[in-house]
Amino acid sequence: MLIRVLGSSAGGGFPQWNCNGANSSAVRKRMPGFTPRTQSSLAVSSDGVDWVLLNASPDLRQQINVTPALWPHPDRGPRNSPIKAAVLTNGDVDHIIGLINLREAQPLSVYGSNRVLATLASNSVFQVLAAEKVPRIELPLGRKLPITGDGIELGLTVEAFPVPGKVALYLEDATKPGFGSEAGDTIGLEVTERKSGKSFFYIPGCARMDDALARRLDGAALVFFDGTLYTEDEMLKQGLMAKTGSRMGHMNMSGPDGSIASFAQIKVQRRVFVHINNSNPVLDENSDARKAVEAAGWEVGYDGMEIEL
Ligand code: MLT
Ligand code: MN
């Protein structure tokens, strides 16, 4: 199974268009140790020919253009694409807007929880993906589902499961507990390759490690995990935004409740941070934070990172 990180950054990308923080400004100046990143998405394939997107970021067009495996096949006619399906983990802007790039009457399947499919259904712009060409298929929670697209069985199954998190920012309802979040607003995915039985987890958004998640991840070969923030209050401290990580539904890397400490209790062979926010000090490759993360056995995902499982 081939996995490619198309975009390793959180919403806004790196640099973010309106951000003059230390990291965004350094990467804009091409300072050594800072690497630009596009927004959050992975691509996965069992045969190296046909691919499934895990999330569809606003930068998808750019991501396709730098990834030859996602270009039309020279022998498959004047209009074709190896992208056969997209599986969505939430309704966040950074995870769904790329669907708009997949118009042009190209057959593929879109998978999401009932909550995320309801969000797509309530936004008429997504009708540019004509229903007869682009079926929307509900992901059941806690059950494996074979992924198909354009009439092809892709040799991959996905099990979606709820993780602690929050409804998309633009759907928050301040009058309701948890801003109106429900199960299915944020899901994790376990992707299994049928022929090898190998699997990995993709969890780009997660508010905290609970017992159910720890049990599920124990023994995993590979986990891509929410790397939004290094510390809970870094966006406030940098004067970027008056929100903590927990308010945004993201756990931080450091600290006693952080992902590094939480994963120290779980057996996982390979751990990769993705969905990294432009405020995160690990984006400076020479920072103490970056060294601490790597010393703890984590990899910091980057655009174009390829893993064969
Ligand atoms: C998030 O991950 O919290 C969202 O992508 C934020 C946003 O919508 O910008
Ligand atoms: Mn996001």
pLDDT in tens, 161-198: 999 999 999 999 999 999 999 999 999 999 999 999 99
Does ligand 1 have an atom closer than 6 angstroms to the CB of 154?
Answer: no
Count the domains in the chain: 1
Q: What percent of the chain has pLDDT over 90?
A: 100
Residue 102 host element (H or E): none
Rounded Cα distance between 180 and 112, Å, is 18
220 CA from centroid of ligand 2 (Å): 24
112 contacts 139 by C-beta, under 8 angstroms = yes
Q: Angle 164-170-171 (CA atoms, 0-180°, nearest 5)?
A: 60
For a mutational test of ligand 1's pocket, the pick from 163, 169, 247, i.e. the residue with the most ligand atoms closer than 8 A to its C-beta, is: 169
- Check: pTM over 0.85? Answer yes or no: yes
Question: Taking the mean position of all CA atoms in its chain, how far away is CA 4?
Answer: 12
CA-proximal residue: ligand 1, atom 3 (nearest): 248
Does ligand 1 have an atom closer than 6 angstroms to the CB of 10?
Answer: yes
In the structure, what pLDDT confidence band is assigned to residue 121 with cuts at 50, 70 and 90?
Answer: very high
- DSSP summary character for residue 14: B
As a whole number, the mean pLDDT across the chain is 98
pLDDT at 270: 98
Instruction: Give the ligand 1 atom nearest the CA of 277.
Output: 2
DSSP helix/strand/coil, 87: strand
Domain containing 259 equals: 2-308
CATH of residue 232: 3.60.15.10
> Smallest Cα–Cα separation from 34: which of 290, 283, 288, 278?
283
187 contacts 205 by C-beta, under 8 angstroms = no
In the structure, what pLDDT confidence band is assigned to residue 139 with cuts at 50, 70 and 90?
Answer: very high
Rounded Cα distance between 147 and 12, Å, is 29
| Paired tokens of 155 | 């040799």
Does ligand 1 have an atom closer than 6 angstroms to the CB of 185?
Answer: no
Does ligand 1 have an atom closer than 6 angstroms to the CB of 171?
Answer: no
282 contacts 274 by C-beta, under 8 angstroms = no
In the structure, what pLDDT confidence band is assigned to residue 285 with cuts at 50, 70 and 90?
Answer: very high
Q: Which residues contact residue 179 at a Cβ distance below 8 angstroms, ignoring those fewer than 6 apart? A: 166, 167, 172, 173
